[in-house]
Structure 1
């Protein structure tokens, strides 16, 4: 009972000051310009600052430069939930770079590739970066691309349907409606393992209500190899993702901007390599890496590099309960990226 109470306390500890994200008819939501606030969680207590353009503020001010301008586009891992403005891997790149390059944070929590495509097309390219770095979160980006509501959020979003190799924009202008009940039935488990997965069996429900049993199951139960089940199940999500990347590449090429992908893993990929979450992330990672020639885009496999480094130098790179990168994790990511960015 004590363990269960603690879990509920942790799950309900997340509090972000009101107003950071506001409705946007084209993108679903955006960051409110000039917002400043605090984000408290059981794992951290940090502050965020949004600049006048509606993106996260950094500690380094832009000056006359002779190097390249890098635009990082992604979700909450790019925005960097859980650390202060000066601790994000993007600001660490700014503080450590000796070649007079400049790194900009265009991450927006909750975004998937479809929203990132629209953001790049409508706004980012107008700032004339030299390189766009699309940070792909392997945990849910490809699945959220298929949906009018993200799996783990209740705000509506635009999405694309892939019909006969043509992308058709849907759900725009984005309606200001609550997430319907049928959309809440979709979760990462049944998307990854299928609707027939028996997680809601009587025994599973009993085990999950007894916190000690739940922890034992999570940490010590034998996880089967699901790789064969993944084959074919994610084809639509993968093809849709590749089509979106192709569109982003076209936009960047037209504006003489280089595009690269960075594959960002979730905590389980690094800390629990045999888990179901790690298995499907690795499956998607392999497909994207194998497709880089077809996409004609460089792919920086951050997931594999982090995994290899963690085996040699394990540390607390992810928050234990909330899941995002810690300040230490951001330092490691900047260590890896600094010498290999294009």
Structure 2
């Protein structure tokens, strides 16, 4: 066994022992919001609270069968699709978008399949596993560059000679088993729940379990004007995942739109100044332009929130949080509505 592997397994054993001696592990029900899923890794617990439906999505109930004369939009993404405002679904991006479409006499049903923490890899699997059952006319894929690209460094898919291959290797199965065990233990652990108050999250369990192929770059790190080891691989893998999205949608006669979501780091200069580096050291355009060029070269339509968000004077993000506030949700829904409306007329 290599020295690095030995250190890794020693760390895992120590963490397991610490959790096991935590008395909360033996008492009470799990406080975890997620269930383990062998392909998606985690899904929301169905009916966990009033905003989570029976299928485990942050949405109202939707039947698989589509009503006549109704068109359907499937939303895929991460926590940006599931940020709850004032404990209600009504002021969220999915519900606001549906309301705008129907007020314009367009009979649309918007179905939110977004799950917090997902990368493009899990969103692709979610489309295949669940999204296609709804027979959608449109798929809107939320793409948040700040963490979606590093999220795709998970080992769920491998790239072999430019092709996407689902990882079924024994080593990854062992990683998933460890993730399942640690997730279950963490949900019952007072130690872990205390840890999450100080920056701990599911990401740490994923890293410890070996789910990522390398430590992911998050936040301002990917915007540094420096060459980052592994980042090029993550970007290339992301492009292949987006091409696969396009192919699945074309095969099922679905219109695909990529919703480009700006980071608060890109919009708020004060945040840039106080995140351990100066704005002049950051290059916000490099990766964004590379992704946009890729989308245009491959005729993948995208909805760009960047310009309007950057020009808006009001606060668009929750205080001390990376997610949209009510104003941000409204503007994002309005931009999406007008883009889809114009695209519908253009396609006629």
Fold conserved between structures, TM > 0.5: yes
Residue matched to 2:44: 31
- Structure 2 residue runs of 5 or longer lacking an equivalent are 1-29, 183-204, 344-348
Computed over aligned residues only, the root mean square deviation of the Cα atoms, in angstroms, reads 3.3
Among 144, 147, 158, the residue aligned to 2:151 = 144
Distance 1:284 1:277, change over 3 A: farther
| Kept after mapping to 1: 8 A contact 2:66/2:135 | no
Unmatched tracts of structure 1, length 5 or more: 1-16, 37-47, 149-158, 194-224
- Aligned pairs for 1:206-217 (under 5 A) are none
Question: After TM superposition, where is structure 1 displaced by more than 6 Å over at least 4 residues in a row?
Answer: 59-63, 182-185
Q: CA–CA distance in 2 between the matches of 1:334 and 1:277?
A: 32
Report the equivalent of 1:88: 92
Corresponding residue for 1:188?
217
- Point out the more displaced range, 314-323 or 120-129: 314-323
2:248 matched to which residue of 1?
251
1:85 and 1:277, CA in 2 relative to 1: closer, same or farther beyond 3 A? farther
Aligned positions of 1:318-329 closer than 5 A: 318-329=317-328
The CA deviation at 1:49 is 1.1
Q: In structure 2, how many angstroms separate the alpha carbons of the residues matched to 1:292 and 1:121?
A: 21
CA positional deviation for 1:301:
1.3
TM-score, normalised with respect to structure 2: 0.68
**Cα distance between partner residues in 1 of 2:294 and 2:138:** 20
Is this contact kept in 1: 2:78–2:117, CA < 8 A?
yes
What TM-score, normalized to structure 1? 0.69
Deviations 1:63-117 (A, max 9, x none): 9563531111000011225552111011011222221222111110000000011
SS in 2 for 1:140: helix
Q: 2 CA distance for matches of 1:119 and 1:31? A: 13
- Name the CA distance, whole Å, in 2 between partners of 1:321 and 1:191: 15
Q: Partners of 1:165 and 1:126 in 2: how far apart? A: 29
Residue among 125, 137, 141 paired with 1:130: 137
Distance in 2 separating the partners of 1:241 and 1:122:
19
- Aligned-partner Cα distance in 1 for 2:93–2:261: 12
The Cα of 1:191 is off from its aligned counterpart by 9.4
**Structure 1 residue 58: Cα displacement:** 4.0
**Secondary structure of the corresponding residue to residue 150 of structure 2:** helix
Instruction: Return closer, same or farther for 1:49/1:144 CA change in 2, 3 Å cut-off.
Output: same
Q: Specify which structure has the higher proportion of helix.
A: 2
* Contact 1:269-1:277 within 8 A present in 2 as well: no
